[in-house]
Structures are given as C-alpha cells and as structure tokens.
Amino acid sequence: MIAIKDLLLRFSGILLSEEIKKEAVRNVISETIRIPVKKEDIKIKNGTIYLNIKPIYKNEIFIKRDKIFSLLKEALGRKSPQEIR
C-alpha cells in the first residue's frame, strides 16, 4: 500500500515547477516593462499566461511580447509558455 506522503511527494514537484514558472514570468515581465507585477496576478494554464493587471500594462507587454518570450525561453527552456492573455 502506498503511503499518502509518497503520493504527495509526487505532486510537490508539480506544484514547485508551477511556482518556479510564475516567478520566472514575474521576473521577466517586471524586468522588461520596468513595472512590478505581483505573483498573485499571474496564472499559467495550458501554456498560456493569464495576467490580471491594468490594461495599460498589458498593452506594454504585448508591444514587447517577442522580447518577453525570448527571455522566458532562456529561463525555462522548452517548457516556457507560448501565449499571453
């Protein structure tokens, strides 16, 4: 019989990788547009980044989209998100 702690250890790696992705996205966006973005305002689902920020900041992000994706690819490799909404 598998202990619950063993099952939870399997899922902890998944949760940590999501937190690492969020932190990398936050760092890249904050560095690129020079405006701090909270980790709570970022959601990553199915390779898409969802941002809960002001529209004026989103416009700046869409303008610098190529630079953001190239920096994310360097930071996260092939598991980097492919789209921003």
Radius of gyration of the chain (CA): 15
pTM (2 d.p.): 0.78
Looking at residue 55, its pLDDT comes to 94
Residues of the chain with pLDDT under 50: none
In whole angstroms, give the CA distance from residue 21 to residue 57: 20
pLDDT of amino acid 56 = 93
Which distant-in-sequence residues (6+ apart) come within 8 Å of 8 by Cβ?
none
Q: What is the pLDDT of residue 32?
A: 93
